[in-house]
Amino acid sequence: MPRPIVLALLGALALVAPARADKSLVAWQPWSNAQFERAAREDRYILLHMAAVWCHWCHVMERTTYRDSDVLALIAQKFIPVRVDQDADPALAARYENYGWPGTIILDKDGNEILRRRGYWAPAVFELLLQAVIEDPSALPPAASEATIDPSRVRLQASERNAVLNAYWFLADTDRGGFGDTHRFILPEALEYALHRAAGGEAGYRQLAVKTLVGARRLIDPVWGGMYQYSDALDWSSPHYEKIMSSQLAALRTYSLAHGLWGDPADLKAAQAVAGYLLAFMRSPEGAFHASQDADLSPSMDGHAYYQLDDAARRALGQPAIDRNLYARENGWAIAGLATLYDQSGEAGLLAAAMQAADWALANRRVGEGGFRHGGAADENPVLVDNIAMAEAFLALHRSTGERRWLDHAIEAGRFIATSFHDARGGFMVAPAPADALGVFAKPVRHAEENVAATRFFNLLAHYTGEAAFRAAADHGMGYLAAIVDDIPFQPGALMADGELAREPAHVTIVGPKDDPRAQALYAEARRYPARYLRIEWWDRREGPLANSDVQYPELDEPAAFACANKLCSLPVFAATGVPGMIRTVDRR
């Protein structure tokens, strides 16, 4: 059968074909250039299976499709099977994340893509797919040309902002909260944008944010805490039970910000349930954080049955497997999330855990001058996501504590990112292409969300330090974001970055000794202010000048708080109760 006809039939058959009896296992190989050399030598193709430790359908495909005798015979005949845990290889995962997990990619000996498919494929269908590739191994056409980036344009145009907003409200579910028409989960940039606009008094955004936060509480495990990844029902009622660290960060940040805005105890309780799960289940003996927890206990008991049980019944059976890898990325996310909740709640244990994880990462994942590698391999090449996660974590800890060492680490990480991941085409690349990269892998990829994070980080860091190079890096990232919104208009993160580049953050300084309870009370109130875009410093004169001494503060007889931004400064405030109002006078959202 001609390949186009075969491929046209696959989608209809993928989920209904019955599995056959398993007779053997796939001899999975590691991902390396050696596989391309073998492919050339033996006239084979590389079958890349991208999976995740926590992924239910990955497990199903490995128990059925990849144990099917006919599939195995075809693999043995013409393919080199390579399995990659996508959490362990962020650079490769970023290239193929749009294909979901499991992702199936077939490559020729020169690194050209022959096929890309997403999701689970039943054995009979997968057999047809492999056979079609054997009969016609033509490479896919080159990817569409990328948007041209104008290096002089570092802001969105009014028409682009309107296009993003139109896409935002087109996808917003104003009845049930959330976005899109397939799954329900916290899209952190979209929800943060709603919270940002709601803080400025816009009722429609507040209603959307509240409905999303209320709905997403149904994804929080009522027994152990922690947020499930998503619901496949639009009313948030049908969770997929894997708990991945990015979901925990999204919940910690957004529920903490919402509590700071409106003081709803339910939002604080939701964030605390997520933090409690991280501390009780995901923390290693060294104080670092594990990567994720599987959705299912076993093939015979999936998450839908297991997570209905109470604590005693769960413990009697055991718990779903935890991926005990200790990645810089996941630790950065955990640190930032716990620090954000600490800012609101003042729970000392949260801050202590966040600082312990940061110290662990500095001791065990640091490379070069301020950079971080993903895992434990000494020869591992750094990737952007680990470094931006740790850089954001350091700024979060600086905000939570006022300690200069955390700002110093953020500065070092910022310099490493600007040097190591700068892409001459615009923005920041996920990782530089290795010198021996073949085919599609010779061209670095860029990730929109990582560029949003980098742009926002560099802009805020520029205000903390006064260094023009950091503002230039922020502009460089924004240039890439501005170039892609025409093709992908749903970019609320680009709106956040664009708005922050256009204005100064509210700049709050507590002037007073760090061992003075009055200064401590002022700082505790200042860090609670519900905005991520906030420059907050604690100037104890005994420590010398601030990193960016752009404001001169008077000598006073008692600790005081000052707020400045956008050519406006407040009068000093001496009581903690006056701090929020003081900040609001200069915060132009």
Statement to judge: residues 235 and 318 lie in one domain: yes
**Token pair listed for 331:** 């630790």
% of residues, the chain, pLDDT over 70? 95
Statement to judge: residues 128 and 177 lie in one domain: no
In a domain, 115, yes or no: yes
Statement to judge: residues 13 and 113 lie in one domain: yes
In a domain, 407, yes or no: no
Residue 144: band (very low, low, confident or very high) from pLDDT cuts 50, 70, 90: low
Statement to judge: residues 220 and 77 lie in one domain: no
Residue 100: band (very low, low, confident or very high) from pLDDT cuts 50, 70, 90: confident
Q: Is 527 helix (H, G, I), strand (E, B) or coil?
A: helix
pLDDT value at residue 570:
87
Name the residue range of residue 247's domain.
173-282+292-325
CATH code (residue 126): 3.40.30.10
In a domain, 477, yes or no: no
Q: What is the pLDDT of residues 471-519, one digit of tens each?
A: 999 999 999 999 999 888 999 999 999 999 999 999 999 999 999 999 9
Compute the mean pLDDT over every residue in the chain, rounded to the nearest whole number. Answer: 93
In a domain, 156, yes or no: no
pLDDT value at residue 4:
38
pLDDT value at residue 24:
38
CA distances from 208 to 11, 186, 269, 410 (A): 35, 12, 20, 33
Q: What is the distance between the alpha carbons of residues 257 and 271, in angstroms, rounded to a whole number?
A: 10
DSSP state letters, 276-331: HHHHHHSB-TTS-B--EE-S-SBTTB-HHHHTTS-HHHHHHH--PPEE----HHHH
Taking residues 551-572, what's their average pLDDT? 89
Statement to judge: residues 117 and 30 lie in one domain: yes
Statement to judge: residues 104 and 34 lie in one domain: yes
CATH code (residue 296): 1.50.10.10
Q: What is the pLDDT of residues 9-31, one digit of tens each?
A: 333 333 333 333 334 389 999 99
- The number of folded domains in the chain is 3
Residue 7: band (very low, low, confident or very high) from pLDDT cuts 50, 70, 90: very low
Statement to judge: residues 127 and 253 lie in one domain: no
In a domain, 379, yes or no: no
In a domain, 151, yes or no: no
Q: Which helix (H) or strand (E) holds 93?
A: helix 90-96
% of residues, the chain, pLDDT over 90? 87
Is it the case that residue 366 has pLDDT exceeding 90?
Answer: yes
Burial code (b: 16+ CB inside 10 Å, e: under 16) for 315-354 equals eeeeebebbebbbbbbbbbbbbbbbbbbbbbeeeebbebb
Contact present, 280 and 226 (Cβ < 8 Å): no
Statement to judge: residues 66 and 121 lie in one domain: yes
Residue 154: band (very low, low, confident or very high) from pLDDT cuts 50, 70, 90: confident
Residue predicted with more confidence, 113 or 486:
113
pLDDT value at residue 98:
82
Statement to judge: residues 177 and 319 lie in one domain: yes
Q: Which amino acid belongs to residue 314?
A: R
Q: What is the pLDDT of residues 415-424, one digit of tens each?
A: 999 999 999 9
In a domain, 563, yes or no: yes
Domain-ending residue, one of 117, 135, 153: 135
Statement to judge: residues 123 and 231 lie in one domain: no
Is it the case that residue 152 has pLDDT exceeding 80?
Answer: no
User: For 32, how many CA atoms within 13 A lie in the half-sphere containing its CB?
Assistant: 6
Statement to judge: residues 108 and 249 lie in one domain: no
In a domain, 44, yes or no: yes
pLDDT value at residue 588:
78
Is it the case that residue 2 has pLDDT exceeding 70?
Answer: no
pLDDT value at residue 242:
96
Taking residues 158-165, what's their average pLDDT? 95
Statement to judge: residues 204 and 107 lie in one domain: no
pLDDT value at residue 5:
36
Domain-ending residue, one of 135, 159, 188: 135
Which of 175-184, 399-408, 447-456, 547-556 is predicted with the least confidence, judged by mean pLDDT? Answer: 547-556
Q: What is the distance between the alpha carbons of residues 136 and 511, in angstroms, rounded to a whole number?
A: 71
Q: Which amino acid belongs to residue 407?
A: L
User: For 402, how many CA atoms within 13 A lie in the half-sphere containing its CB?
Assistant: 24
Taking residues 245-259, what's their average pLDDT? 98
pLDDT value at residue 145:
62
